[in-house]
Amino acid sequence: MPKKSTGTSRRQVKLLSGGNPQIAKGDGDAPVQAYLAALPGWKRDVGQQLDALIERCVPHVQKAVKWNSPFYGIDGQGWFLGVHCFTRYLKLAFFRGALLQPPPPVVSKTPDVRYLHLHEDDLLDEAQLTRWLQQAAALPGWSP
């Protein structure tokens, strides 16, 4: 069976289960932008919109791709958000999400973690997302 790819760059990006781009681990904006550019369909626009929102509302945000997912954090504090592509939605993992007010809606098996699932036809509530991002960035983050 041929490998799926996005064709968004000179080097083809393999799409894993659910359309998640296989991007090499790396620190900084470049690997995150490569991940976002390789997202399939509507998820690319939403991912890029999300990334721009994070940059606007979290000054000095640090970025990386780890385990085929973008991570966002604050230097010296750890990661506050991870993003992962699934077949029908983008999953935003707030690593200390149980402490956010109000907490994001999807509960995790890990007590501190809460999720937000973004589906194709969802309207992005930028005001609420901004509040969550700012709260999350102010908390001690997760360190692997």
Q: What span, in angstroms and rounded, lies between the C-alpha atoms of 104 and 123? A: 15
**Average confidence score pLDDT of the chain:** 90
* Tens digit of each residue's pLDDT (9 = 90 or more) over 12-63: 788 787 788 988 999 999 999 999 999 999 999 999 999 999 999 998 999 9
Start-end of H helices in the chain: 29-38, 42-57, 126-138
Q: Please, are residues 144 and 69 in contact by the beta-carbon 8 Å criterion?
A: no
- The CATH number of 17-138 is 3.90.1150.200
The mean per-residue pLDDT over the stretch 110-128 comes to 95
pTM for the complete prediction?
A: 0.88
Q: Residue 11 — pLDDT band, cuts 50, 70, 90?
A: low
| Every domain of the chain and the residues it spans | 17-138
* Tens digit of each residue's pLDDT (9 = 90 or more) over 63-89: 999 999 999 999 999 999 999 999 999
